Amino acid sequence: MSESLIGKTLPEFISRFQLQLPQPGCFLANSRHAAVLIPIICRPEPTLLLTRRSNHLRKHAGQVAFPGGKADPDDHSLIATALREAEEEVAIPASAVHVLGQLAPLDSSSGYQVTPIVGLVPDTVAFHGNEDEVAGLFEMPLYEALSLSRYYSLDIHRGGTHHRVYLSWYERQFVWGLTAAIIRRLAQQVSL
């Protein structure tokens, strides 16, 4: 199946995603954990919901991101973290999300181990951004997001360490860093 067709048919995407679920990893007790929700809006042509973080935030201000954040002690799982954060940031009720699964965690530049949670959201949900955290929302067609050819890598050498950063654009939105790496990983998983 071609890359572009995978994202246009939601049942095919779901099937391919669930066939490739990562093995659950073990977490170190002293690791800092966070989770993000990859909200797939169930439109006739499915989309990914992305946010533009508020410009006044201390970390990652103005960047494109998925709703998410650090795990709270009251969260019983990282899925609960992602759902709580999505409700706080973009008003998606946890009860409206059908969780498909999760991707393997990625390390963020801010020292967190971030677990992406993939969830389906009905197109009837009226989401909107929390003004304190979100400057704007936009949707990217899933078939475009899953095209591996749209991601460019940039190798950065800083402090004797090598980092690979991924970059992409959608319309006037610059998607890079952890968000681009998460989408690219999802694209790799369903293209296997």
**Quick check: 183 and 145 in contact, CB under 8 A?**
yes
Q: How confident is the model at residue 52 (pLDDT cuts 50, 70, 90)?
A: confident
- The residue assigned the tokens 């971030």 is 114
**Quick check: 166 and 180 in contact, CB under 8 A?**
yes
User: Is residue 27 predicted with pLDDT exceeding 80?
Assistant: no
Q: What is the pLDDT of residues 174-186, one digit of tens each?
A: 787 889 999 999 9
DSSP letters for 19-66: HTPPPPPP--TT--EEEEEEEEEESSS-EEEEEEE-TT-SSSTT-EE-
State pTM to two decimals.
0.84
Q: What are the C-alpha distances in Å from 94 to residues 37, 62, 97?
A: 11, 25, 6
